[in-house]
Amino acid sequence: MIAAMLAGGSKLLCGASVRWQCDPTATKQRIYYGNHSSHLDFIMIWSALPPRLRASARPVAGRDYWERGATRKYLAGRVFRAVLIERGQATAASARAAIEQMAREMGDRDSLIVFPEGTRSVNGDIGPFKSGIYHLAQLRPDVELVPVYLENLNRILPKGESLPVPMMSRVIFGPPLTADGRDDKAAFLAKARGALIQLKDTR
C-alpha cells in the first residue's frame, strides 16, 4: 500500500506522462538506466513502471544517504528494496566490488535502476557515462538494458534544493539494448549514451 501511494503521489506531483518504446509488460530482467539531474529521478522511473515490474525493480543508491535516519532506511529497505552501495572510496577495488554487488543482487528475478553519469546534472544535459554500466553489462549479458529519459526533473527538484516545485514532466522508456560482447568499453558507452540522447530529442 505504501509503495502504491508513493508511486501515485510522485506521478501526481511531477505531472508525469509516460511513453514506452519497449514492451511495458515484458518480465525479462532489465537494467533501466537514465539521465540524472534530481533526487526524484529513481523514484520517477520506479513510479512509472507497471506494478508488476515495479515490484522487482531495485534502484541503486548510496548507502551514506539512504541509511541516514529511520524514514530513509525504511523506504530504502522495505519499499524500494534499494541496492545500497558504499561511496566515497574512489579506488578500483571499491568500484569493482560495487559492480559485483549489483550483479549479484539482481539474482534471477530482479531488475535495476541506475544512473551512469554518476552525478546529477545542474542544467539537464546528459554528461559522459562512467564505465560501471559497461562492467555491469559484462557480468550480466543475459539482461536487457533499457534507456529512460527523464524530462524536467532538474526543474522540479534542482540540485541543492529540498522542496519540489510541481511541474509537468515526461518519462520515456526507449528500445532495449543488448550487450552482445562485440563492443569495447568506449563503443559500448557511446552507444548507451547515444540511445539516451536520442530519447531526449524525441518529441
CA atoms within 13 A on the CB side of 80: 25
> What angle do helix axes 132-139 and 185-200 make, rounded to 10 degrees?
110
How much is the pTM? 0.87
Return the domain boundaries, the chain.
2-6+17-200
With beta carbons less than 8 A apart as the criterion, state whether 24 and 53 touch: yes
CATH homologous superfamily, domain 2-6+17-200 = Glycerol-3-phosphate (1)-acyltransferase (3.40.1130.10)
Q: How far apart are CA 38 and CA 164, in angstroms?
A: 10
Bridge partners, 144 (sequence order): 30, 178
* pLDDT at 163 (0 to 100): 45
Closest CA to 49 of 98, 107, 8, 81: 8
Q: How far apart are CA 124 and CA 154, in angstroms?
A: 6
Per-residue pLDDT of the chain (203 residues; tens, 9 = 90+): 566 655 555 555 555 688 999 999 998 999 999 988 776 788 889 989 999 999 999 999 888 888 888 998 998 888 899 999 987 667 888 889 999 999 999 999 999 999 999 877 667 788 899 999 999 999 999 999 999 998 865 555 555 545 454 456 788 999 998 666 678 999 999 999 999 999 987 76
* pLDDT at 31 (0 to 100): 97
What would the grid cell of residue 39 be?
533526487
With beta carbons less than 8 A apart as the criterion, state whether 151 and 169 touch: yes
Closest CA to 79 of 54, 49, 114: 54
